[in-house]
Amino acid sequence: MNLSLITPVYNEEKNLPLLFEAVYKTMREINQSWEIILVDDGSRDNSLVVLDEYAQADAQHVRVISLRRNFGQTSAISAGIDYAQGETIVLFDADLQNDPADIPLLLAKLNEGYDLVSGWRKDRKDNALVRNFPSHIANWLISRVTGVHLHDYGCTLKAYRRDALAGFRLYGEMHRFIPVFAHSVGARIAELPVRHHARKFGKANYGLERTLKVILDLFTVKFLLSFSSKPIYLFGGAGAVLMLIGFVDLAYLFIRRFWNIPAASSPLLSIGIMLAIMGFQSILLGLIAELLARTYHESQRKPTYTIRKTVNLSREPRE
Ligand code: UDP
Ligand code: MG
């Protein structure tokens, strides 16, 4: 299998026939073996019935995964990725806001030697105030914090080489951070402007609250990428700084006693003690996090590195 298309579906019964039409049209132009995996995310309309019909009619290409309830777009995408057979994986939305006609362009770019090609909705057709504007800010922030520079992380339409998706799981709203994780395991990433259409049928499932979730996810991602194998650097570093400030503060109170200024009456006393204790605790927390990091890597035999290729080495790593 060369190519797996994956699309999450939640209440898209009216969009699905148009989606299939567009996908078949594009796939006829591409000379590759392909499949499309549609993940029904607990739809409450007739989406699943429609999907079943298409799957019956074309068992060679159409695969359907039906989740037991609504888990959200990211989980639906994860399920699709877990079952995909293709060497190349393309994700896009089922509501036709992404245009399947852009898939060949992404694939061509991927073949230039990239591991991930991300769509960029340059001319985005969503609500300007509650979606586009907050999303601009979120994109800018993600780009600054992670050092992976894209204009549009949130665009679902992206093409991936299989290995670029290996080794991490997606939580929360995290499918938009796949490029960031992929970058951390050494993937080469490109961005390509793609078409974007307004929704014809159905309604958008997300609003302003999504941007908040994305920003919270960003904290997790940054922490995982920068410190998950060395948490003591963060906790210990913060703890050391707090303790130092605490000790300087206490030393100052101590020295003042030579001029008979009582320490007990100053708020600096409790502040100093508090900072020293908090700093010490943060260092201890760092040690616990170090234990967790070891459990995480060693229980799953997850190395702390990723390999692109080896030469003259057919053996498995020594345990
Ligand atoms: N979706 C899903 N589960 C959900 C919400 C949405 O699988 O709980 C799918 C939806 O069918 C669509 C894609 O995720 O294919 C994007 O959803 P939506 O269009 O609502 O988001 P927006 O384009 O407004 O960001
Ligand atoms: Mg949409």
With a 6 A CB cut-off, is 97 part of the ligand 1 pocket?
yes
Q: Kindly state whether residues 22 and 162 are assigned to the same domain.
A: yes
Please report, for residues 15, 118, 160, the alpha-carbon distance to residue 155 in angstroms, rounded to integers and kept in the order given: 18, 8, 13
The alpha carbon dihedral of 31, 35, 39, 43 has a sign of positive
pLDDT (0 to 100) of residue 288: 96
247 and 216: one domain? no
What is the C-alpha separation between 133 and 281, in angstroms, rounded? 40
State in Å: Cα 199 to ligand 1 middle. 11
Minimum-distance ligand to the CA of 71?
1
**Which ligand does the CA of 10 lie closest to?**
1
Looking at the fold, whether 41 and 69 belong to one and the same domain comes out as yes
Same domain, 59 and 184: yes
| Atom 17 of ligand 1: nearest residue by CA position | 205
User: Does residue 314 surpass a pLDDT of 90?
Assistant: no
75 lines ligand 1 (CB under 6 A): no
Residues 22 and 152 both lie in one domain: yes
**Structural domain includes residue 305:** no
Q: Of 226, 255, 273, which one is at a domain's C-terminal end?
A: 226
Measured in Å, residue 196 CA sits from the centre of ligand 1 at 14
Segment 157-215, tens digit of pLDDT: 999 999 888 877 888 888 999 999 999 888 999 999 999 999 999 988 888 888 889 99
Domain assignment of residue 179, yes or no? yes
Mean pLDDT within 22-37: 95
Q: What is the 29 CA–ligand 2 centroid distance (Å)?
A: 25
What type of residue sits at position 206? Answer: Y
206 lines ligand 1 (CB under 6 A): yes
Asked whether residue 155 falls in the same domain as residue 255, the answer is no
Indicate which ligand has the atom closest to the C-alpha of 155.
1
Residue 120: which H helix or E strand, with range? strand 116-121
CA distances from 318 to 259, 296, 300, 301 (A): 66, 19, 15, 11
Tell me whether residue 319 is in a domain. Answer: no
Alpha carbons within 13 A on the beta-carbon side of 260: 0
204 lines ligand 1 (CB under 6 A): yes
Q: For residue 37, what is the domain's CATH number?
A: 3.90.550.10
Q: 10 CA to middle of ligand 1, Å?
A: 6
Does 304 have pLDDT greater than 90? Answer: no
Is the distance from CB of 292 to CB of 231 less than 8 angstroms? yes
Ligand 2 centre distance from Cα of residue 51 (Å): 18
**Do residues 47 and 137 share a domain?**
yes
Cα–Cα distance for residue pair 123/130, rounded to 1 Å:
16
Q: Provide, rounded to the nearest whole percent, the portion of the chain with pLDDT above 90.
A: 76
pTM over 0.95: no
Give me the number of domains the chain comprises: 2
Ligand 1 center–CA 155 separation, angstroms: 11
Within 13 Å of residue 298, how many CA atoms lie on the same side as its CB? 7
Residue 69 inside a domain? The answer is yes
Find the largest Cα–Cα distance for the chain. 92
Share of the chain above pLDDT 70, in %: 100
Angle in degrees, 0-180, between the axes of helices 15-29 and 103-110, rounded to the nearest 10: 40
- List pLDDT tens digits, range 248-258: 999 999 999 99
DSSP 318: P
The pLDDT confidence band at residue 62, using thresholds 50, 70 and 90, is very high
Calculate how far, in angstroms, residue 93's C-alpha sits from the geometric centre of ligand 1.
7
Token pair recorded at residue 8? 């999450």
With respect to residue 315, please indicate whether it lies within any of the assigned structural domains.
no
Domain presence at residue 116 = yes
DSSP state of 86: -
What is the CB neighbour count within 10 angstroms for residue 316?
A: 6
122 and 240: one domain?
no
Check residues 128 and 26 and name the one with the higher pLDDT.
26
Kindly tell me if the per-residue pLDDT of 319 is higher than 70. no
**Which residues on neighbouring strands pair with residue 63, listed in sequence order?**
37
In a domain, 262, yes or no: yes
What average pLDDT does the structure give for the chain? 93
CA distances (Å), origin 8, targets 76, 95, 103: 6, 9, 16
Cα–Cα dist 265/277, whole Å? 20
Q: Is 103 in the pocket of ligand 1 (CB under 6 A)?
A: no
Using the atom order of ligand 1, give the atom closest to the CA of residue 93. 15
Domain boundary among 226, 246, 268: 226
210, 226, 242 — which closes off a domain? 226
Helix (H, G, I), strand (E, B) or coil at 207: coil
- State phi, psi for 275 to the nearest 5 degrees: -60, -40
Nearest ligand to the CA atom of 15: 1
Q: Give residue 129's pLDDT band: very low, low, confident or very high (50, 70, 90).
A: confident
Tell me: do 102 and 143 sit in the same domain: yes
Q: Is the CB of 70 under 6 A from ligand 1?
A: yes
Q: Do 142 and 60 have their domain in common?
A: yes
205 lines ligand 1 (CB under 6 A): yes
Strand order in the sheet with 116-121: 62-66, 34-40, 3-9, 88-91, 158-161, 116-121, 189-194
Examine the domain organization and report whether 174 and 254 are in the same domain.
Answer: no
**Are residues 83 and 32 both part of a single domain?**
yes
Residue ranges making up the domain that contains 285:
232-299
- The conformational region for residue 113 under phi > 0 = left, psi -120 to 50 = alpha, else beta, is left
Does a structural domain hold residue 311? no
pLDDT for 248: 97
